[in-house]
Amino acid sequence: MKSPLNLQILFLKVKNQDPEAFGQFYDLYVTRIYRFIFFKINSISDAQDITSEVFLKLWQYLKEGKNIKNLNAFTYMIARNMVIDFYRKNHKFDESISDEHINIPDEQKDILKQQIMDSELHDVLKGIENLKDEYKEIIILKYLDELSNSEIASVLHKSNGAVRVLLYRAIKALKENINN
């Protein structure tokens, strides 16, 4: 992982519309953004499409010269809004999908199996699956995507205090789901 100073320099270059820096930013964030979207949509192809659209939209914002204070949080905010638009457009609100409908390439299946065996990821994912959407979202942002509370507050349009309370409640609900 890059040092905080190197990340700040990269963010500044991206904000100044440097295509090479944007490519580096894309490489650094594409997996995180994809994972964030996939956990919300449960469709590989739709998550891939939306992920591409997120970075295209981000580049368009940069080209228009719009002021972006926190590039990390702004990227997640675009992703979140695009997921909301996806559900509005497709009316897929309470649709769930089982593991057998997800087609994962064989080389990724081996990696995923190892991760599930090494940790109790499967139980955690099942616990997350049964949470309210806002709880899922905050857990993904905090623990999978490693955003700070202030970045999460920016993405969710909430205060830092509201984020702390929501995170506390989400963790409590997750523990209850896992233990049941």
Q: pLDDT of 81-110, one tens digit each?
A: 999 899 888 864 444 444 444 455 556 556
Q: Which of 46, 68, 93 is the last residue of a domain?
A: 93
Contact 48, 34 (CB under 8 A): yes
> Is residue 98 situated within a structural domain?
no
Indicate whether 61 and 127 sit together in one domain.
no
pLDDT in tens, 44-90: 889 999 999 999 999 999 888 888 888 888 999 999 999 989 988 88
Contact 156, 138 (CB under 8 A): yes
- Percentages of the chain per state (helix, strand, coil), in multiples of 5: 80, 0, 20
Indicate whether 85 and 12 sit together in one domain.
yes
pTM above 0.85, yes or no: no
> Is residue 40 situated within a structural domain?
yes
Six token digits for residue 99? 């593991």
Total domains in the fold of the chain: 2
pLDDT at site 104: 54
Indicate whether 4 and 84 sit together in one domain.
yes
Indicate whether 56 and 1 sit together in one domain.
yes
E-only strand ranges, the chain: none
| pLDDT grade for 20, boundaries at 50, 70 and 90 | very high
Indicate whether 81 and 159 sit together in one domain.
no
Residue 51: closest CA among 61, 40, 66, 63: 40
